[in-house]
Each structure stands twice: as C-alpha cells, then as structure tokens.
C-alpha cells in the first residue's frame, strides 16, 4: 500500500513516540474509477466489496482497529469503539491500537494528542463543524490542559481553491471576529476565498492551543487525495491516530 503519513508526520508533528498516525492517499486499493483506488468511504456509491477490501488492507498494514464514524458535519465527539459506528464527527481514545479515524475529501482532518502520550483524538471539520465548534469539542474530550495538547492539521482544500459565500464568513465572525483575517474577497461579488487552516489555528488559539502543526496542503490541487470540489463523484481518504501497544 502506498502511504503518506508515517513519513510525513514524524518530522512535522512532535508527538510522543507512543502516538502513531497515518493519512491514506488514493493509491494502494482495489476500487475502480472514479473511486480509484484506495477509497475508504462506504457512502459514496463505490462497490461495498471494494471498500471492505480497502479497509482491510489499511487495518492489516498498521495492525490497528479503526473506529469508523458516520460523519454528519456536526460537533459530537464519540469515545472511539471499533465495534460501533457512531454518528459523530470526532472521536477520542486512551486505548492502545484503537485508531480514531475520520474520512475527508476537502474538509479538514485534525489529529490531537497530549504531550504525555496518554490520549489521542481525530476530528472531521468541514466549515459548518469548524464554525460550530467541533475542534473545541474534541479538545474538551481529551480532558487535558490545552497547553499540553498537540494538533496536526491534515490535507484539506487550500485557500486558493476554497471559495465560499458571505454567510460562511459571517458564521465565523459572529463568535470569533478575529477570523476575518482568514477570508479574502474573491473574484465574484459576495464571494470570499477562505483559509480553513488559518480558521482552525485561530479557533484553537482562542482556547489556548498553540502547538498546531501541519497545513499547507490543497486536496483540490493535489491528485494524491480525493477532492469533492474537483469531482463530486469521488472517494474518501482517511486520517487516523492511535496509541502504540503497551
């Protein structure tokens, strides 16, 4: 399987050695076009058998137990349980080998851990979830001083491709006026180009989290990743974080 994260995160995210993470790419699976090839989403129209095989390959590659979610662009944070598909957009765990898992294709995946390496979490943050507080809810689930939390922002749509309406800007500024800096007027009247990475950093900083890493990707322009805006009929890649076996 072609994988991105273990090589990418080690120099970029100074997490404790016990914390492991990965981000899948499109390569290494069995799904056919337009889902080719490592589609992990079972809700996008791909053949169920292909998705099951792709998920099995991921599980075997890292010897983990992924806790899949039914993501709904909300702010619910579940306790990660590989035996339950919770309706939530984030999960946390302190159990080794259980992997907090989120799927995206332009939305922002955010991985969390504490400096002591005792708890991890993963969040799916589209603009609605981000504006409504999914990152803050995930932070709260760790029950750790924000100064002791490390966050890594995974591949998402970049600021040069993320065009939004004024209602999106207003939703953020209503509670966090400082987020105005994350929006630049677009070429079309009433449209803005939004920096989802800047928005996440500002929201986390407001809660006292300053150790934030990652960012700088653009799923829309990077063919390694699925992108819903590039092609609505597409798959999903996964971002996972877990604790090593004790």
CB-neighbour burial class of residue 16 (10 A; exposed 0-12, middle 13-18, buried 19+): middle
Alpha helices by DSSP H, the chain: 5-12, 48-62, 127-132, 134-142, 166-173, 196-206
Under DSSP, is residue 232 helix (H, G, I), strand (E, B) or coil?
Answer: coil
Give yes or no for residue 6 having a pLDDT over 50.
Answer: no
pLDDT by residue (tens digit) across 190-237?
999 999 999 999 999 999 999 999 998 999 999 999 999 999 999 999
10 pLDDT more than 80:
no
In this structure, the strands spanning 90-93 and 77-79 are parallel
- Name the pLDDT band for 246 (thresholds 50, 70, 90): confident
For 5-156+208-243, give the CATH class.
alpha beta
128 confidence band (pLDDT: 50, 70, 90): very high
Q: Percentage of the chain surpassing pLDDT 90?
A: 93
Considering the chain, what is the average pLDDT of its residues? 94
What value does the mean pLDDT take over residues 115-124?
98
Alpha-carbon span 70 to 85, nearest angstrom: 6
Does residue 12 surpass a pLDDT of 70?
yes
Query: Averaged over 43-54, what is the pLDDT?
Result: 97
What is the C-alpha to C-alpha distance for residues 242 and 73, in angstroms, rounded to an integer? Answer: 22
Write the pLDDT tens digit of every residue in 60-98: 999 999 999 999 999 999 999 999 999 999 999 999 999
- Show me where the domains of the chain are located: 5-156+208-243
Rounded percentage of the chain residues whose pLDDT exceeds 70: 96
Q: CA–CA separation, 128 vs 136, rounded Å?
A: 13
pLDDT in tens, 160-189: 999 999 999 999 999 999 999 999 999 999
Q: Supply the DSSP string of 49-92, one letter for each residue.
A: HHHHHHHHHHHHHHT-EEE-EE--SS--EEEP-TT--EE-SEEE
pTM: 0.96
Residue 11 has what pLDDT? 56
> For the chain, what percentages of helix, strand and coil (3-state, to nearest 5) are there?
25, 25, 45
Tell whether the model's pLDDT for residue 241 goes beyond 80: yes
């Amino acid at each position: 399987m072609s994988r991105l994260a273990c090589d990418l995160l080690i120099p970029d995210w100074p997490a404790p050695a016990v914390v492991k993470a990965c981000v899948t790419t499109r390569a290494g699976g069995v799904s056919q076009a337009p889902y080719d090839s490592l589609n992990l989403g079972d809700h996008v129209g791909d053949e169920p058998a292909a998705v099951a095989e792709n998920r099995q390959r991921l599980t075997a590659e890292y010897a983990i137990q992924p806790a899949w979610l039914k993501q709904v662009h909300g702010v619910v944070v579940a306790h990660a349980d590989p035996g339950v598909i919770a309706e939530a957009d984030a999960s946390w765990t302190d159990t080794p080998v259980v992997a907090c898992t989120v799927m995206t294709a332009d939305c922002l995946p955010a991985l969390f851990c504490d400096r002591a390496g005792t708890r991890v979490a993963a969040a799916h943050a589209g603009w609605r979830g981000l504006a409504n507080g999914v990152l803050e809810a995930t932070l709260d689930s760790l029950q750790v001083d924000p100064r002791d939390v490390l966050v890594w922002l995974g591949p998402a749509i970049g600021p040069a491709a993320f065009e939004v309406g004024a209602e999106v800007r207003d939703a953020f500024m209503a509670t966090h006026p400082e987020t105005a800096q994350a929006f630049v007027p677009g070429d079309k009247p009433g449209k803005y180009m939004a920096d989802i990475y800047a928005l996440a950093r500002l929201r986390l900083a407001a809660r006292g989290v300053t150790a934030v890493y990652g960012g700088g990707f653009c799923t829309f322009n990077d063919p390694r990743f699925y992108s819903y805006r590039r092609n609505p009929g597409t798959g999903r890649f996964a971002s996972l974080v877990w604790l090593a076996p004790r």
